[in-house]
Amino acid sequence: MPFWERSWRPYTRNLVDGRSKLPSNPTDQIETMIDLMQNLHPVVQALLATCFTWALTALGAATVFTAKDMSRKLLDGMLGFAGGVMIAASFWSLLAPAIEMSEGKDIPAWLPAAVGFLIGGIFLRGIDRVIPHLHLGLPIEEAEGIKTSWHRSTLHVLAITLHNIPEGLAVGVDFGGVAAGLPTATLGGAMALAIGIGIHNFPEGLAVSMSLRREGMSRGRSFWYGQLSGMVEPMAGVIGAALVLVSQLILPYAMGFAAGAMIFVVVEEVVPESRYGGNADLATMSAMIGFAVMMVLDVALG
């Protein structure tokens, strides 16, 4: 029997005994949700988790319907918070488990995580050099990738979309690790990672939709393109989980890869963008808060 089917239990069991109804106590609710997730195939788990992260992107983009504009100070604080969440997720949910699961092997425990980490950064750098995109707040002359005549709004959406790929992969790889039965990978930890990335996605969706609105796009189209930037995450999540299910050997490398790609995004995009408005101190403190929140989530749920 494949290792991902060992913990498979029919979802109908919960429907029969009534445990599908969430209790009123928040702690019991979390335990029940984790129990319900355990009954699903890991690829389905990854799909649901990344649909959640995409939904928070859409929720952030939906603020374009209720707000005329957003203060630069608030945006810088939210971007800093998002950067802190991603840094913490890269270590607590990806690199640390990758190193632990490599212990006792014929190679140094740090090697798979380090190799995957560097390849992840190189991969994102390669995408940046090829696919046209423009980071928020920059003039059109500073667009990266192959030169094109595409509209500024299209380049904005592509920038966020490309950098959402490693986030979806990270969630998918984490759920794949849980299915492999590795002691360092837990369902609670994988769900914590999805929650953290979802929190990070809210300001991203908001920033994209507001940026497009300022450029004269209608509210409906601003929302559509803002949420569209997060739709790549479910696809990446499914791919990440499926790859790990094919071979457990690539799991620590895949975790390192996802972490490296996420850190590349933080350093190359999130941190610089959080400082365009001259609120460096606010962005820095927000990043520390974001790191602490993600750390607490991972430790508490993991």
Per residue, what are the HEC states of 68-123? CCCCHHHHHHHHHHHHHHHHHHHHHHHHHHHHHHCCCCCCCCCHHHHHHHHHHHHH
pLDDT given for residue 149 in this prediction: 73
Give me the phi and psi of 144, to 5 degrees please.
-100, 170
Closest among 173, 186, 184, 193 to 109, alpha carbons compared: 184
pLDDT given for residue 276 in this prediction: 76
Residue 241 domain-assigned (yes or no) = yes
Residue 71 domain-assigned (yes or no) = no
Q: What total number of domains does the chain contain? A: 1
pLDDT given for residue 190 in this prediction: 85
Computed on alpha carbons and rounded to an integer, the radius of gyration of the chain in Å comes to 19
pLDDT given for residue 23 in this prediction: 56
Q: What is the pTM of this model?
A: 0.80
Closest among 268, 7, 289, 259 to 115, alpha carbons compared: 259
Instruction: Give residue 247's domain range.
Output: 42-66+80-301
Residues 6+ apart with CB under 8 A from 27: none
pLDDT digits (tens, 9 = 90+) for 60-117: 999 999 877 777 888 888 889 989 988 998 998 889 888 988 888 888 999 999 999 9
Q: What tokens appear for 112 in the block?
A: 């798979």
Closest among 261, 84, 245, 270 to 170, alpha carbons compared: 261
Query: For the chain, which residues score pLDDT lower than 50?
Result: 1-20
Distances (CA, A) of 211 to 21, 80, 121, 217: 41, 18, 27, 9
Task: Write the DSSP symbol of residue 210.
Answer: H
Q: How far apart are CA 297 and CA 139, in angstroms?
A: 37
Closest among 274, 231, 228, 252 to 135, alpha carbons compared: 274
Residue 74 domain-assigned (yes or no) = no
Residue 16 domain-assigned (yes or no) = no
Residue 123 domain-assigned (yes or no) = yes
CA angle 290, 179, 31 (to 5 degrees): 55
Which amino acid, residue 14? Answer: N
Task: Write the DSSP symbol of residue 22.
Answer: P
Residue 237 domain-assigned (yes or no) = yes
Q: How far apart are CA 234 and CA 46, in angstroms?
A: 8
CA angle 245, 56, 205 (to 5 degrees): 110
Closest among 165, 127, 160 to 228, alpha carbons compared: 160
Residue 61 domain-assigned (yes or no) = yes
Residue 1 domain-assigned (yes or no) = no
pLDDT given for residue 112 in this prediction: 94
